[in-house]
Amino acid sequence: SRAASMAPTGGAVIRDCPQCPEMVVVPAGRFVMGSTPTESAAAKVPADGAAREWPAHSVSIPKPFAIGRYEVTRAEYGAFVAATRRADVGDCLTWDRAGGKWQPVATASWRDPGFPQRENHPAVCLDLADSSAYVAWLSSITGQRYRLPTEAEWEHAARAGTTTPYYWGDSTDP
């Protein structure tokens, strides 16, 4: 996310540097975050997960902000790694088809997650420390304030003004 005191209006696409991600300006607004017990039951959300969604509540986003238009790509993350010489940690959580569960793989990393990727594919196998270091680097090279969006900002952007339980409508079937 970029500082809220920007001139572009909602929907404007901005990029602060050639290796920076494209950002889109999201206008200020209000929305209902969370779900009701009825919505959780209709979506067959397990009880432990559903309880974290209650109660549905009104959220206000008082200022516009910018958020990545797309996921950070391998090329964008790679530019950060090259500039900072950040070490690859490994131990990427990878889907084990045979075992049917997520497993840490010591040799997997964003460079080689265990499946083919191109430079324009989303960067994967990153954790909060990687993401935080990446946005700190963007701030340092652009002079803009980059940070990760809050949960409310992310949902506000993802909902794109919808008021239904799902961004595609009322039904659990998209």
pTM for the model stands at 0.82
Angle between helices 128-142 and 74-84 (to 10 degrees): 70
Q: How confident is the model at residue 174 (pLDDT cuts 50, 70, 90)?
A: low
* Side-chain-side CA neighbours of residue 104 (13 Å): 6
Biggest CA–CA distance in the chain, Å, is 52
Burial 72-83 (b: 16+ CB within 10 A, else e): bbbebbebbbee
Percent of the chain with pLDDT over 90: 53
Pair 94, 61: CB distance under 8 Å: no
Residue 122, beta-bridge partner list: 73
- Which uninterrupted H or E stretch holds 65? strand 65-68
Mean pLDDT of 150-174: 85
Distance of CA 114 to the CA centre of its chain: 22
More confident residue, 107 or 123: 123
More confident residue, 70 or 7: 70
Mean pLDDT of 161-173: 79
Mean pLDDT of 13-20: 94
